[in-house]
Amino acid sequence: MINLALKEISHTWVRYVLTAVGLGLLIGVTLTMTGLVRGLMDDAVALVRGTHADLWVVQDETQGPYAENSTLYDDVYRSIAGLPGVADVSNVAYLTVQARHGDTDVRVLIAGFERDHLGEPPFLLAGRPIVKDHYEAIADVKTGFKVGDKIGIRRDEYTVVGLTDRMVSSGGDPVVFITMKDAQIVQFQKDNTSIYNDRNRLAANPQLNRPGVPGLLNAVTENQQLNNKVNAVLVQVAPGYEPAAVADTIRRWKHLQVYTYDQVTQILLVKVIVNALRQLGFFMAILALVSTAIIALIIYTMTMGKIKEIAVLKLIGAKNSTIAGMILQQAWGLGLIGFAVGKAASTLWAPFFPKHIEFMLIDTSVAFVITMIICTLASLVGIRAALKVQPASAIGG
């Protein structure tokens, strides 16, 4: 028995395929939109995930270091290192700057890390890790830097020695890793004019500038210009200990705020990027609705366009079920080809987007199921119309 659907299509297969492609592109756009939202969520937690820390210790009464600013002394880690259940501690510092490269500058998040401790970039795409204590950097590929490039950050020039991937800030800015000492200088050392200004103000204070106490002014100036703060301390919990329990100990006895990995990702997703998520989420919902409507309309139109042929078929004795089957199969065909085209297109154009797009299996599956349901429902309307057609109308009756 011939397959009526295929036979019918074979006459106008160009139009059919083009329709499917058009449908596919629309589905592709919707899939991309979903991928954008997922990408946004993935970006938000990329840096957190990449550090492999179990606990984030930040300034008391803040929700830092991502949602709010948090400042700690850089020797706080010593008092945490000795607590039971703590396997490793590390200082981290974050600051968003425009890194100069040639004639342009790139918006990056500077991440300061302690070598041989948590916070180090977990893998390298190219180059080597940071070996010197100063003036070397590892950049995410999204910065556009290459190994060997010289970039300018504040008052110093850094050499890019390695490249990594998927290291972005919650806002999607690529990360540049430098040693903690350099990061402290970048974050806390002021420009020269401010430094002179501060020194002059101190020198003008007669309480601090006493000729009879020669070293006093120098000591006070030095103290004022210390760069000994960091933004957070990362903690790795020893095997056999509960992160929540260790967090409680730190909170209670060290009077610092502590967040577990889950809490930090929650803060990032729920508080930091919530507006961007909502923005995209609304658009995605509208897009999905519109796509649904258009797909339904296309299938309905396609079916309605074949009323004459359906009448002829009925005339020559085709059964209703055969005709219904034909319409349904054609709709499914559109759906399948369209979905395949859409998935392929979105996979192909995703790398060209400036920010990360993440396709998850669950999203793709759900989209597929919805597409097929829409096709089925839309075809049902067409089937209903087709079944009502009078065979006589085929010959002008």
| Binding positions for another protein, rule: CB under 8 A | 50, 75, 87-88, 115-116, 120, 122-129, 131-135, 161-162, 165-166, 181, 211-212, 214, 228, 347
Q: Select 135 or 332, whichever has its Cβ closest to another protein.
A: 135
Which is nearer to another protein, 155 or 252 (by Cβ)? Answer: 155
Burial (Cβ within 10 Å: 0-12, 13-18, ≥19) of residue 31? buried
C-beta closer to another protein: residue 127 or 391: 127
**How far is the C-alpha of 223 from the C-alpha of 211, rounded, in Å?**
19
CB of residue 303 to another protein, shortest distance in Å: 34
Q: Shortest approach of another protein to residue 344 CB, angstroms?
A: 11
Tell whether the torsion through CA atoms of 3, 8, 14 and 18 is positive or negative.
negative
**Which residues are 55's β-sheet partners?**
235, 260
Minimum CB–partner distance for residue 133 and another protein (Å): 5
Sequence-distant (≥ 6) Cβ neighbours of residue 28 within 8 angstroms: 341, 342, 343, 344, 345, 346, 349
Q: From residue 109, how far is each of 93, 94, 168, 169, 176 by CA, in Å?
A: 10, 7, 8, 6, 6
Q: How far is CA 302 from CA 26, 32, 186, 371, in A?
A: 17, 26, 63, 17
Nearer to another protein, 211 or 354 (CB): 211
For the CB of residue 76, give the shortest distance to another protein in the complex, in Å: 12
As a whole number of angstroms, the distance between CA 209 and CA 238 comes to 50
In the bound state with another protein, the residue whose beta carbon lies nearer, of 14 and 131, is 131
User: Closest distance between another protein and the C-beta of residue 49, in Å?
Assistant: 9
Of 124 and 312, the one with the shorter C-beta distance to another protein is: 124
Question: Is 106 or 130 the residue whose CB approaches another protein more closely?
Answer: 130
Numbers of helices and strands, H then E, in the chain: 12, 12
Q: Return the number of the residue (216 or 385) whose C-beta is nearest another protein.
A: 216
* Token representation of residue 249: 């100990």
Distance of closest approach, residue 52 Cβ to another protein, in angstroms: 9
Tell which residue, 25, 27, 35, has the closest CA to residue 362. Answer: 35
Q: Provide the minimum distance between the beta carbon of 370 and another protein in the complex, in angstroms, as a whole number.
A: 23
Nearer to another protein, 56 or 77 (CB): 77
36-60: burial string, b at 16+ Cβ within 10 Å, e else:
bbbbbbbbbbbbbbbbebbbbbbbe
Half-sphere exposure of 351 (CA within 13 A, CB side): 4
Closer to another protein by Cβ: residue 165 or 309 = 165
Nearest approach, Cβ of 380 to another protein (angstroms)?
34
For residue 341, the minimal CB distance to another protein (Å) is 16
Is 345 in a helix, a strand, or coil?
helix
The 10 Å Cβ neighbour count of residue 293 is 12
Bridge partners, 258 (sequence order): 57
**207: its two tokens:** 């309480």
Nearest approach, Cβ of residue 222 and another protein (Å): 11
Find out whether 213 and 220 touch, Cβ atoms under 8 Å. no
